[in-house]
Structure 1
Amino acid sequence: MFKKLPGDEAQHLVTTTPDTAVVFRPAVLHTPAIITVLIFTWRLLAGLIRLIWRHPIAATVIAVPAVLCWWASWRVALAAVTVPGSVLIACGLFHRALFLHWVGWRLLAFWRRIWVYRRHWHPVMTVSGLARHVHGRDYLPHLAHVTCTSWADLVTVRMLTGQCVKDWADRVDHLAHGFGATSCRVTVARAGRLLLIFPRRDPLAVPLPAVPILDEVSVGPVEIGRCEDGTPWRLKVHGTHVLVAGATGAGKGSIIWSTIRGLLPAVRAGLVQVWALDPKRMELSFGRSLFGDRYAATPEQCAELLEAAVAVMQERADRFAGLQRTHTPTTEDPFVLVVVDEVAFLTAYQSDKGLKLRISAALATLTTQGRAVGVGVLAALQDPRKDVLSIRNLFPDKIALRLDESEQVDMVLGDGARDRGALADHISPIPAQGAGVAYVRLETSPDPIRVRAAYVCDVDIRDMVAVFTAATPSLPGEGA
């Protein structure tokens, strides 16, 4: 009387009896109890093995006292807990850094993995659109590992098959707010794995004093500040060109003067020459004695100084051709750093079209051919638009200080930099909090790094000039 139909055919059934509903009852398959027990036992064992594998120290801390209590007595177990605990307490009191490295950050990572990330992982992945629901089954990216440092959580994630970095970079705001962080940055750990950086505090909130002038003679990289992870920020100037962009009061002078400060021992030794272009006549004029006759303020002087640098570059290229491919600073051929403050005034806002063309041509020549023969350019500007500085892509290393618009971040650091966490438009305009804070994108890495340049005040600049001009009556090559 009744006919069994597949589940998909139930929707096509039509009844001729009014007010009679068609009832479809799918077949029920009864699983033997022994199979269910075996499945749950296997899952329990696999989970226990995975827990021990991922957290061997925590497992050992729990397992050792339990085994001693069962094998010996509770007194032995209590001693096994008390003695190491006393050692850890003493270590935490007298050697805090060592205690945090071996114990503190590991315990914090264990707690935050369970309480913050694992607890919210499913809803955050689902709401942000990083999870997928296919054929009635949820597919989630895998939370692989959590590491804590003094300032941030480093979360390693295994992406779903078919996902790319941009899928995650477009959702950094969802991830940050979902896990209770102020921001999130995305970097590639290796194929198929990402490293999400969630800051817990801002280690760059306090202004940094000027970096002491070292006795060591070096052409770089020079220390000019501090990175977010606590390591020194060393800026490479020899063998590259650097573009610094930032709004008024963002701290461009801190980067320029910290770089010059780091190169001063090499200037005294004759291995470096700093050529300064100061169209505003305000920033670099404080240290005019350091530059000798290689200082320009008016547009005409700037054009002549840039063309002189091009002449030095071409003369070296003729001598080096067929003999060497890289430059090694010597007193005969020192490294020449051309510092241009407010380059936009010279390339875009200059009323004299002839001078504008000369300056643009000289800068383009230096940035395309200069670094191989020891001529570098450090340029600073406020407006990073293409029509203001058409050669911005010729600068391998770029620094974005506080910017006015979110679109300007990618103009300076390259496409996708802001999606990866370079929030230069969110840097505080309050000088004590945001002056000198920047994001750096190097030629060797697409991932932006958050840094803060040391603040070099007027007193520091005057002291630099007084000390080094007294010790160096005549700068190397002066008057040439």
Structure 2
Amino acid sequence: MLRRLPGDEARNLVSTTPDTAVVFRPAVMQTPAIVTIVIWLARLLRGLIRTLWRHPIACTAALAPVVVTLTYGWRMAVVLAGFLPALGLSWVLLERDSFLRVVGWPLLAWWRLVWVYRRHWQPVMIVSGLGRHLRGRDYLPRLVKVRCTSWADLVTVKMLNGQAVKDWTDRADHLAHGFGARSCRVSIARAGRLVLTLPRHDPLAEPLPAVPIPEVASVGAVEIGRCEDGTPYRLKVHGTHVLIAGATGAGKGSYLWSAIRGLLPAMRAGLVQVWALDPKRMELSFGRALFGPRYAATPAECADLLEAAVAVMQERADRFGGNQRSHTPTVADPFVLVVVDEVAFLTAYQSDKGLRERTKAALATLTTQGRAVGVGVMAALQDPRKEVMNIRNLFPDKIALRLDESEQVDMVLGDGARDRGALADHISPVPELGAGVGYVRLETSPDPIRVRAAYVSDEDIRTMVAIFSTGRAGAHARG
């Protein structure tokens, strides 16, 4: 017969007073002291091993003086304490990048882990709803590690079983403000693990001067600005189509002119032709000499130029069919980049229905069939709504600059882009702070990348025209 434990009788108690609850204490089992000590020592050993594994440099720096003192005495420890700072200072002055990579960023990551994230982890998780407090116990996502770069903290997190990525993207603002960052972007590391990108400062706050004109003619990805991590931003134009959306003054012209600037040597060599449609007669007209007869301003001229591009595309398709599946730029078959400034004026706001339908049909044909034969489209617009631009999904690569509404971000970059950190509606309207800043979503990745395009001034465009004209004149003289 089983023995009853203290407290089992509470199940049989019945209160005869309606407003009186039965209060009882559950049975308390005494754990042997040796078990408690063994568990505590095991946890201590695991914590020490984990600390040594995650932070080898910091642990070595902390333990080295102790080891030297025990081995060689305190005098040698004092000498070492004076020598190491001098060695570190020399390292910083001579090889700053390697010092930061090996010592600086790991130490900063350890400090941020201890002072910021581990310190505030439990309250931020509970208040934001990503953790649960049940029956006196906290169930929290696990903070795996923190890695620091020059501009942001990359926090790796193991989600609770049953959580989804959307649970975290919906609470990106809570996480950003909880950890003292201006924003938070959520990306998937692998199944069950996420990486939270929390910027410490904005590396794109200052305007960028125009990128130098390349010395070598190339139709590959052209450098037009800088990514948020400090690396050059190279825009692919050959073999794709690019849609740029942004409010007035957001800096769409910086992307158009920077791309043209990067292709200038290839234009001089005859490997690239830029066909410009400028219905506003303001942006592209300043460098009209670069385009020659392939420049259109009126709606009728724009429709004719687009249909001419379709004719080139179809002629190439007839020749390439059965012979080649991709395009290689040559002087005989150059890459054709159709640049359209304010495409919505031609596709939605045009009063002439006939011209409007011709323009929409030509653009749809180019964006569906032009990539393989070397005809690309780069279009800029202000209003990304479907009724304004109904073929926006035919552009594989999309760029969202400053937008007026949060819903427009997903219209441009796709569903869920804003939840993953593409806060295009939060970009500053001050030109010095926000002009040219945008979020890029490439065909090969759903995660948005924050970039800033360089500003190409009027003087830079005049220089481009002079260089292009000189190069063309020299080519004709040699011919």
Q: Which residue of 2 aligns with 1:260?
A: 260
Q: CA deviation at 1:43?
A: 1.3
Question: Take 2:427 and 2:4, find their aligned partners in 1: how far apart are those partners?
Answer: 68
Counterpart amino acid of 2:253?
A: G
Q: Which residue of 1 aligns with 2:164?
A: 164
Q: Which residue of 2 aligns with 1:310?
A: 310
Change in Cα spacing, 1:464 to 1:70, as seen in structure 2 (3 Å) is same
Q: Please give the per-residue CA displacement for 1:211-256, whole angstroms capped at 9, x wherever unaligned.
A: 1112111002000111111111100000000000000011011100
Aligned positions of 1:83-94 closer than 5 A? 83-94=83-94
Aligned partners of 2:55 and 2:106 also within 8 Å: no
Unaligned residue ranges in structure 1 (runs of 5+): none
Q: CA RMSD in A?
A: 2.1
Question: Take 2:392 and 2:408, find their aligned partners in 1: how far apart are those partners?
Answer: 12
Change in Cα spacing, 1:279 to 1:20, as seen in structure 2 (3 Å) is closer
Aligned positions of 1:4-403 closer than 5 A? 10=10, 13-16=13-16, 22-134=22-134, 137-403=137-403
Aligned partners of 1:401 and 1:439 also within 8 Å: yes
Q: Please give the per-residue CA displacement for 1:168-203, whole angstroms capped at 9, x wherever unaligned.
A: 111110000000001111111222211111111111
Q: Please give the per-residue CA displacement for 1:36-59, whole angstroms capped at 9, x wherever unaligned.
A: 111111111111111111111122
Q: Which residue of 2 aligns with 1:461?
A: 461
Q: CA deviation at 1:31?
A: 1.2
Question: Take 1:196 and 1:436, find their aligned partners in 2: how far apart are those partners?
Answer: 25
Q: CA deviation at 1:6?
A: 9.1
Q: CA deviation at 1:353?
A: 0.7
Q: Please give the per-residue CA displacement for 1:445-473, whole angstroms capped at 9, x wherever unaligned.
A: 11111111100111111121122113213
Question: Take 1:445 and 1:158, find their aligned partners in 2: how far apart are those partners?
Answer: 22
Aligned partners of 2:243 and 2:399 also within 8 Å: yes
Q: CA deviation at 1:68?
A: 2.4
Question: Take 2:142 and 2:18, find their aligned partners in 1: how far apart are those partners?
Answer: 53
Q: Mean alpha-carbon deviation: is it higher for 414-423 or for 34-43?
A: 34-43
Q: Per the alignment, in what secondary structure is the counterpart of residue 162 of structure 1? A: coil
Counterpart amino acid of 2:101?
A: H
Q: CA deviation at 1:5?
A: 8.7
Counterpart amino acid of 2:391?
A: I
Q: CA deviation at 1:76?
A: 2.3
Counterpart amino acid of 2:402?
A: R
Change in Cα spacing, 1:167 to 1:347, as seen in structure 2 (3 Å) is same
Q: Which residue of 1 aligns with 2:404?
A: 404
Question: Take 1:61 and 1:403, find their aligned partners in 2: how far apart are those partners?
Answer: 49
Change in Cα spacing, 1:439 to 1:15, as seen in structure 2 (3 Å) is closer
Question: Take 1:147 and 1:58, find their aligned partners in 2: how far apart are those partners?
Answer: 14
Change in Cα spacing, 1:388 to 1:16, as seen in structure 2 (3 Å) is closer
Q: Which residue of 1 aligns with 2:446?
A: 446
Aligned partners of 1:440 and 1:449 also within 8 Å: yes
Q: CA deviation at 1:10?
A: 4.1
Tell me the TM-score normalised to structure 1 length: 0.95
Aligned partners of 2:225 and 2:234 also within 8 Å: yes
Change in Cα spacing, 1:23 to 1:404, as seen in structure 2 (3 Å) is closer
Change in Cα spacing, 1:42 to 1:277, as seen in structure 2 (3 Å) is same
Q: CA deviation at 1:438?
A: 0.6
Question: Take 2:175 and 2:18, find their aligned partners in 1: how far apart are those partners?
Answer: 54
Question: Take 1:94 and 1:17, find their aligned partners in 2: how far apart are those partners?
Answer: 83
Question: Take 2:232 and 2:104, find their aligned partners in 1: how far apart are those partners?
Answer: 24
Change in Cα spacing, 1:56 to 1:18, as seen in structure 2 (3 Å) is closer
Aligned partners of 2:57 and 2:103 also within 8 Å: no
Q: Mean alpha-carbon deviation: is it higher for 247-256 or for 55-64?
A: 55-64
Aligned partners of 1:292 and 1:475 also within 8 Å: no
Q: Per the alignment, in what secondary structure is the counterpart of residue 472 of structure 1? A: helix
Change in Cα spacing, 1:24 to 1:455, as seen in structure 2 (3 Å) is same
Q: Per the alignment, in what secondary structure is the counterpart of residue 263 of structure 2? A: helix
Question: Take 1:12 and 1:387, find their aligned partners in 2: how far apart are those partners?
Answer: 71
Question: Take 1:135 and 1:468, find their aligned partners in 2: how far apart are those partners?
Answer: 74
Q: CA deviation at 1:402?
A: 0.6
Tell me the TM-score normalised to structure 2 length: 0.95
Q: CA deviation at 1:23?
A: 4.7
Aligned partners of 1:207 and 1:432 also within 8 Å: yes
Unaligned residue ranges in structure 2 (runs of 5+): none
Q: Please give the per-residue CA displacement for 1:109-160, whole angstroms capped at 9, x wherever unaligned.
A: 1111100000000110111111134565422111111111111111111111
Question: Take 2:51 and 2:466, find their aligned partners in 1: how far apart are those partners?
Answer: 64
Aligned partners of 2:6 and 2:27 also within 8 Å: no
Counterpart amino acid of 1:203?
A: P
Matched residue count: 474
Percent identical across equivalent pairs? 74
Question: Take 1:35 and 1:13, find their aligned partners in 2: how far apart are those partners?
Answer: 35
Q: Per the alignment, in what secondary structure is the counterpart of residue 201 of structure 1? A: coil
Question: Take 1:122 and 1:19, find their aligned partners in 2: how far apart are those partners?
Answer: 38
Question: Take 2:19 and 2:110, find their aligned partners in 1: how far apart are those partners?
Answer: 60
Counterpart amino acid of 1:83?
A: F
Counterpart amino acid of 1:52?
A: L
